[in-house]
Structure 1
Amino acid sequence: MRKMLLAGVAFTVAASAAAQMPAPPRPAKKPHQVTSPNGTRTDEYYWLRDDTRKNPEMLAYLNAENGYTDAALASLKPLQDRLYQETVSHIKQDDSSVPYRKNGYWYQTRFETGANYPIIERRKGEKTAPAEILFDQPAMAKDRSFFALSDWQVSPDNRLVAYAEDTVGRRQYTLKVKDLATGQLLSDTITNAEPNIVWAGDNRTILYVAKDPTTLRGYKVMAHVLGTPVAQDRLLYEEKDDTFQMGIGRTTDDRFICVFVQSTVSNEQRCAAAATAPASFQTIAPRKRDLRYSADHMDGRWIIRTNLNHKNYTLMTVADDAVAGGPAAWKALTPASDTVFIEDFKPFAGFIAINQREGGNRMIRLLDAAGTSIPVKADEPAYRMTLDVNEEPDTPWVRYTYGSLVTPTTTYEVNAKTGERRVLKVAPVPGYDPANYVTERVWATARDGTKIPVSLVYKKGVKRDGTAPLFQYAYGSYGSSTDPSVDPGRIGLLDRGVVYAIAHIRGGQEMGRQWYDDGHLLNKKNSFTDFIDVTRYLVAQKYAAKDRVATMGGSAGGLLMGAVANMAPEDYKVIVAQVPFVDVVTTMLDASIPLTTFEYDEWGNPAQKQYYDYMLSYSPYDQVAAKNYPSMYVGTGLWDSQVQYYEPAKWVARLREKKTDSNPLLFRVNMEAGHGGKSGRFERYRQNAEWGAFVLQQLGAAE
């Protein structure tokens, strides 16, 4: 053993067997007792948590991990560069979005060649009018290691724009206001806010959501009058239940401003007239456990998506003068269904566009005033349709996007009256021909007999003989569904003969609300076993070789990676876990950590013994054991507010201590980034090229 000195702090590393390759860092073990009402656990790496992110010993360890990863991947640098250049070659660098119209202006986002960030501009009256730049993001991001422009809203009179920016990656946004005529910033600056802004009808009042400085929970709706001190901002609503999240917005017809509060199993919406700065809000329906709804306003009525009559949701309506009657006054617009899950809707003048899921696919139907549904057709077995920007509802044209694992994102408009469909744009993918690739939808049988949908893509000519490498992805939490799309960063894998699979495991909502219910709380292990069973199915069906399987997941999908690494390490050659949520019990015991209190109905509250025991039985950090593990690449961001950096740091340290194999375990820490990694469109692909090269090397598919 020897001591390495980094940043003035000593820590222990093991002697290296290869002179040219340093040994992995070994952080000190400092036993710490994690107490709970249901038991005490020893966490020898708990000391790696530092909420200030200034502890020299902790920072030295993270920097040493980066140094070790640099050394381990040095020989792959040419492949990394090649993958990155291949990815960039499939991106039209000077691309622009389809313009959309709002309040007399056409808005558009465009990239200039080589730019990491887009320019946002508008044109008055006509698409051909001179462009007025709202945000020159390349200039705004200059000399910053991280930059994110999130929500931005133009005032009703089109004179001002309020926006939210993050220059750290911690998702603690600063709100600013700019005069669009002069380009000058106003003196108004609001810190530690959510990226969620609404203008009142007076053009001088901004509604925003303030964050708790410790938990980062958005919990207060505030009203700021331009030109007045932030300390004088008026409190409009405070959510005291820390299991609820909060947001604000306007209804489609712009008549109301609404406050939305929601938890996993219930929510509540309060609305007020938008014409002036609101003083109070009327509740659409009071919160009740297991009742979920969201309401929009159009044509003099409220339209409500709700699980009141069925867990797959229906649409209901209530007149303005009857809204005080609550759910008892709501009337059905759509029937309940065991096979169709209503995910979203957008009201238009005289009809409603509905985003729904059926058979694992996301699709659209149009519901007219007579109650007739018209489905929008698709021609592929696995695809997605998503309602796009539709800012002006007084039109028969509905804008949406379509895509699959082989078809680039295509923006359409469909006429609700005539059925006419027209293409507005096909996302350019230079050097890519969809005809060279095949997409399939297959159904893997899980160990309990459930059929799991799997979306596949591979290059034509790849033999289904059990020799191909496989890259399998999934998320499977929070009811979040994973939809197929063409990714420029994936083409390099496909061209090297890799079969790519999305496992639509339980915990998402691809197959409806029951699909989610069967994959969270005390059913969470279904997500993990579904993923493993999909892998075994694809190998058995000869889509892939047993010893050439790679997999990746991030955040809650990183929990999935940690769980399958413990449960079925022999099924995987290499695992990529990005910002992984791996210390489930300790995190869920600590209400001061952002997101914890929101998620008791997702994972369970470990203060209750049944949840404590169940979570402990799958928590990746707690289940690390002395056995062989696959090759692994783990990524995190020091400033992550969603999954704190110390979770993967501790997990890697414990894996290094206990694993019995000699497979590489690499840990990349972005010291200037948060949950989403470094900012900028090219930076993401550069980061992906690093783990992509590692995966291809491990699969024997580098060329």
Structure 2
Amino acid sequence: MTMRKMLLASVAIAVSSGALAQGAPTPPRAAKKPHEVTAPGGIRSDEYYWLRDDTRKNPEMLAYLNAENAYADAQLAALKPLQETLYQETVSHIKQDDSSVPYRKNGYWYQTRFNTGADYPVIERRKGDRTAPAEVMFDQPAMAKGHSFFALSDWAVSPDNRLVAYAEDVVGRRQYTLKVKDLATGQILPDTITNAEPNVIWAGDNKTILYVAKEPTTLRGYKVMAHAIGTPVAQDRLLHEEKDDTFAMWIGRTSDDRFLCVFAQSTVSNEQRCAPTTAPATFQTLAPRKRELRYQADHMDGRWIVRTNHRAKNYTLMTVADADLDKGTAAWRDLTPANDTVFIEGFKPFRDFVAIDQREGGNRMIRVLDAAGKSLPVKADEPAYRMALDVNEEPDTPWVRYTYGSLVTPTTTYEVNAKTGERRVLKVAPVPGYDPANYVTERVWATARDGTKIPVSLVHRKDVKRDGTAPLFQYAYGSYGISTDPAVDPGRIGLLDRGMVYAIAHIRGGQEMGRQWYDDGHLLNKKNSFTDFIDVTRYLVAQKYAAKGRVAAMGGSAGGLLMGGVANMAPEDYKAIVAQVPFVDVVTTMLDASIPLTTFEYDEWGNPAQKQFYDYMLSYSPYDQVAAKAYPSMYVGTGLWDSQVQYYEPAKWVARLRDKKTDNNPLLFRVNMEAGHGGKSGRFERYRQNAEWQAFVLQQLNVVK
């Protein structure tokens, strides 16, 4: 008997599964157990609260999750051939022995490359020039052996190029282990730091690393520590502790390598402290934290350049001389004017100019600002696209490296000369078997119910007719001010080639249209995200881009919250919904400060200890709003070790949906028992997982072929 069958047989009291009705399996049913949650708005009943087990060892809970997996296996069995076809099609569009464009830093050229068939890349460097012999820094295929999950995150080479510190995760819970490797010998040093953020930098002495320790329960990064190589971790020095649990922290070096900086950030404010690289002991605050003051600074040639919302809602760039730093914002001077239609996303200082990453009209673009204040915008030829600053590690150059892509054009790495405007292509990401000429991308504007124009990025094959018969796959995120940009995805080509229209709804809650776009989609405006998404769907159907009854929707994490809200508010508009790692139990989670992410998200969702926020959250929380009505076909995914959205949120949601929904549409719950928020690791494994829900969607929309 398999382990799964043993678990199912041992806890039949919790789960009714395995029985067959006319040859078809019946869905699992989680046991109901009385539990009350106390809140300012009163007592809430949460009959599936028992599914929460922070140890992830409760056999009754595990049995239910395994039963859901077994049920999904049975329901999807007939789609295995299509799933395999989709996976093989995706793999056929991936150049398996691909490599990145090399970049130069501190005398070495760095590059990442994949070997054919490998799930993980090799990271290597060459001394002096690109033709020098390669030194392998990280052989990730070898490092990943024996692990069901593996992720190499941040890494940093010491200033003398001798050692590399790096962060790895072999569980998927984002509790990283920091290690140090001798690049000359390949030896892994005894220094091992656990439960850290994936963030590490070197001091100027080549023997001290700075890192951010996580609070053990909430997993919030809260202490910046200094570790001297070769000494016990217990002797690490505390450099800064963030006591306000609504703030998270990370660390970094300035572009000129003169300062080490500690960044503390909440949703609505942040603070930056910096110390000389040669003496990381006393950190000077650039500007004290103040609600609604946000800034981030970099240093070059005796001045600080600051991206800030100080007197500029959409952010501007300001400067302050080293000598005036202690004067605070009063000494900051404008480098760029405030603009109501241009949102500054980021920047990179060079010796003679500043490269600016900005948004306008829903698109992300690049411009170069020289010392005389003259701007050089980088042009694009498509209606919906994305530019972004790429790796620019050395400031003494006139060349700015950036990437460009769209829903049709594969990611292309360019560099542009800040003095002459000359542009040259460094690499076009290879997509075998894909011809951009067969597809068309559009930018349309859907009118929301309050009159707001919502930008939508579309792609479809040129031979798809706009006659109201095509199937539509619509995606959005819409939270945290995170914008969703268009790009070619090898896993999407198979859907397009089957006649689907793919749409990204740039709904409020992101920052595609500036900071106000975000403000209008969070806290007490969160429902705008849901209604925007629904209104985009109705617009695309009305404009005959898609057929009513042939629409699928997808979102993940906070986008999974969006899917839950949409399923409750407008189930009739969607044939199928895919919700990955969905944040669907908003009220219960935000009431519990021990859960990772809760405390520093009060300004995103609201603090339910205040009744107005409690009532508003309750009015849209997908778990709380499940009702006795018909729902679309649904595929829900989670990871048992997810640290961002705990597995029990979607588990409880699915259990309540099973109990209340009145339809016979399939509801499938796929639980990765060995993965976290991002699913299983490895570049091919991700596409194999995606092929499962893609096959489900194609079947539901009747485009299986």
The Cα offsets for residues 429-463 of structure 1, whole Å up to 9 and x where unpaired, read as 00000000000000000000000000000001101
The Cα offsets for residues 168-197 of structure 1, whole Å up to 9 and x where unpaired, read as 000000000000000001110000000000
Question: What residue number does 1:577 align with?
Answer: 579
Aligned pair 1:421/2:429, yes or no? no
The one of 406, 409, 424 aligned to 2:408: 406
Question: Shift in Å at residue 627 of structure 1?
Answer: 0.2
Question: Shift in Å at residue 702 of structure 1?
Answer: 1.2
In 1, the alpha carbon distance for the partners of 2:137 and 2:6 equals 50
Question: What residue number does 1:281 align with?
Answer: 283
Question: What residue number does 2:59 align with?
Answer: 56
Aligned pair 1:234/2:234, yes or no? no
Instruction: Report if aligned partners of 1:175, 1:190 keep a CA contact under 8 Å in 2.
Output: yes
Amino acid aligned to 1:42: S
Amino acid aligned to 1:577: A
Question: Shift in Å at residue 506 of structure 1?
Answer: 0.2
Instruction: Report if aligned partners of 2:15, 2:63 keep a CA contact under 8 Å in 1.
Output: no
Question: Shift in Å at residue 18 of structure 1?
Answer: 3.7
Instruction: Report if aligned partners of 2:7, 2:59 keep a CA contact under 8 Å in 1.
Output: no
The one of 245, 249, 271 aligned to 1:246: 249
Alignment of 1:319-330 (within 5 A): 319-330=321-332
Instruction: Report if aligned partners of 1:569, 1:630 keep a CA contact under 8 Å in 2.
Output: yes
Per the alignment, in what secondary structure is the counterpart of residue 488 of structure 2?
Answer: coil
Aligned pair 1:164/2:178, yes or no? no
Aligned pair 1:601/2:609, yes or no? no
Aligned pair 1:98/2:101, yes or no? yes
In 2, the alpha carbon distance for the partners of 1:193 and 1:233 equals 13
Amino acid aligned to 2:586: V
The one of 203, 207, 214 aligned to 1:204: 207
Question: What residue number does 2:74 align with?
Answer: 71
Instruction: Report if aligned partners of 2:51, 2:651 keep a CA contact under 8 Å in 1.
Output: yes
In 2, the alpha carbon distance for the partners of 1:5 and 1:144 equals 24
Per the alignment, in what secondary structure is the counterpart of residue 100 of structure 2?
Answer: coil
In 2, the alpha carbon distance for the partners of 1:116 and 1:400 equals 26
Instruction: Report if aligned partners of 1:208, 1:221 keep a CA contact under 8 Å in 2.
Output: yes
Per the alignment, in what secondary structure is the counterpart of residue 179 of structure 2?
Answer: strand
In 1, the alpha carbon distance for the partners of 2:10 and 2:146 equals 28
Aligned pair 1:180/2:171, yes or no? no
Per the alignment, in what secondary structure is the counterpart of residue 411 of structure 1?
Answer: strand
Question: Shift in Å at residue 16 of structure 1?
Answer: 5.3
Question: What residue number does 2:41 align with?
Answer: 38
**Larger mean Cα displacement after TM superposition, 17-26 or 588-597:** 17-26
In 1, the alpha carbon distance for the partners of 2:487 and 2:559 equals 18
Per the alignment, in what secondary structure is the counterpart of residue 347 of structure 2?
Answer: strand
Amino acid aligned to 1:435: A
In 1, the alpha carbon distance for the partners of 2:440 and 2:254 equals 41
Question: What residue number does 2:642 align with?
Answer: 640
Question: What residue number does 2:269 align with?
Answer: 266
Amino acid aligned to 2:238: L
Aligned pair 1:257/2:269, yes or no? no
Q: Structure 1, unaligned stretches of length 5 or more?
A: none
Per the alignment, in what secondary structure is the counterpart of residue 73 of structure 1?
Answer: helix
Question: What residue number does 1:47 align with?
Answer: 50
The one of 344, 349, 352 aligned to 2:351: 349
Question: What residue number does 1:361 align with?
Answer: 363
Question: Shift in Å at residue 37 of structure 1?
Answer: 2.7
In 2, the alpha carbon distance for the partners of 1:530 and 1:17 equals 41
The Cα offsets for residues 580-624 of structure 1, whole Å up to 9 and x where unpaired, read as 000000000000000000100000000000000000000000000
Q: Structure 2, unaligned stretches of length 5 or more?
A: none
Question: Shift in Å at residue 5 of structure 1?
Answer: 6.1
In 1, the alpha carbon distance for the partners of 2:219 and 2:164 equals 25
Question: What residue number does 2:659 align with?
Answer: 657
TM-score (norm 2): 0.99
Residues 124, 522 of structure 1: alpha-carbon distance in 2 compared, 3 angstrom cutoff: same
Question: What residue number does 2:683 align with?
Answer: 681
Question: What residue number does 2:379 align with?
Answer: 377
Question: What residue number does 1:109 align with?
Answer: 112
In 1, the alpha carbon distance for the partners of 2:183 and 2:19 equals 60
Aligned pair 1:27/2:30, yes or no? yes
In 2, the alpha carbon distance for the partners of 1:299 and 1:454 equals 42
Question: What residue number does 1:132 align with?
Answer: 135
Amino acid aligned to 1:522: L
Question: What residue number does 2:302 align with?
Answer: 300
Aligned residues: 700
In 1, the alpha carbon distance for the partners of 2:292 and 2:690 equals 40
The Cα offsets for residues 325-348 of structure 1, whole Å up to 9 and x where unpaired, read as 000000000011110000100000
Per the alignment, in what secondary structure is the counterpart of residue 428 of structure 1?
Answer: coil
Question: What residue number does 1:86 align with?
Answer: 89
Question: What residue number does 1:550 align with?
Answer: 552
Amino acid aligned to 1:110: R
The Cα offsets for residues 79-100 of structure 1, whole Å up to 9 and x where unpaired, read as 0000000000000000000000
In 2, the alpha carbon distance for the partners of 1:136 and 1:571 equals 48
Residues 5, 669 of structure 1: alpha-carbon distance in 2 compared, 3 angstrom cutoff: closer
Question: What residue number does 1:472 align with?
Answer: 474
Question: Shift in Å at residue 39 of structure 1?
Answer: 1.4
Residues 15, 64 of structure 1: alpha-carbon distance in 2 compared, 3 angstrom cutoff: closer
Instruction: Report if aligned partners of 1:347, 1:353 keep a CA contact under 8 Å in 2.
Output: yes
The Cα offsets for residues 547-605 of structure 1, whole Å up to 9 and x where unpaired, read as 00001000000000000000000000000000000000000000000000010000000
Amino acid aligned to 2:349: P
Instruction: Report if aligned partners of 1:7, 1:56 keep a CA contact under 8 Å in 2.
Output: no
Instruction: Report if aligned partners of 1:299, 1:350 keep a CA contact under 8 Å in 2.
Output: no
In 2, the alpha carbon distance for the partners of 1:646 and 1:273 equals 45
In 1, the alpha carbon distance for the partners of 2:594 and 2:581 equals 19
In 2, the alpha carbon distance for the partners of 1:7 and 1:484 equals 47
In 2, the alpha carbon distance for the partners of 1:250 and 1:625 equals 51
The Cα offsets for residues 252-310 of structure 1, whole Å up to 9 and x where unpaired, read as 0000000000101000000000023x111000000000000000001210000000011
The Cα offsets for residues 208-260 of structure 1, whole Å up to 9 and x where unpaired, read as 00000000000000000011110010000000000001000000000000000
Question: What residue number does 2:592 align with?
Answer: 590
Question: Shift in Å at residue 30 of structure 1?
Answer: 0.2
In 1, the alpha carbon distance for the partners of 2:333 and 2:639 equals 48
Amino acid aligned to 1:333: L
Question: Shift in Å at residue 31 of structure 1?
Answer: 1.2
Question: Shift in Å at residue 19 of structure 1?
Answer: 4.0
Residues 638, 7 of structure 1: alpha-carbon distance in 2 compared, 3 angstrom cutoff: farther
Question: What residue number does 1:393 align with?
Answer: 395
Alignment of 1:184-195 (within 5 A): 184-195=187-198
Amino acid aligned to 2:192: T
Question: Shift in Å at residue 21 of structure 1?
Answer: 2.3
C-alpha RMSD of matched pairs (Å): 1.0
Question: What residue number does 1:122 align with?
Answer: 125
Instruction: Report if aligned partners of 2:510, 2:521 keep a CA contact under 8 Å in 1.
Output: yes
**Larger mean Cα displacement after TM superposition, 32-41 or 286-295:** 32-41
Question: Shift in Å at residue 4 of structure 1?
Answer: 9.7
Instruction: Report if aligned partners of 2:40, 2:614 keep a CA contact under 8 Å in 1.
Output: no
Per the alignment, in what secondary structure is the counterpart of residue 690 of structure 2?
Answer: helix
Aligned pair 1:221/2:224, yes or no? yes
Amino acid aligned to 1:562: G
Identity %: 86
Question: Shift in Å at residue 6 of structure 1?
Answer: 1.3
Instruction: Report if aligned partners of 1:470, 1:549 keep a CA contact under 8 Å in 2.
Output: yes
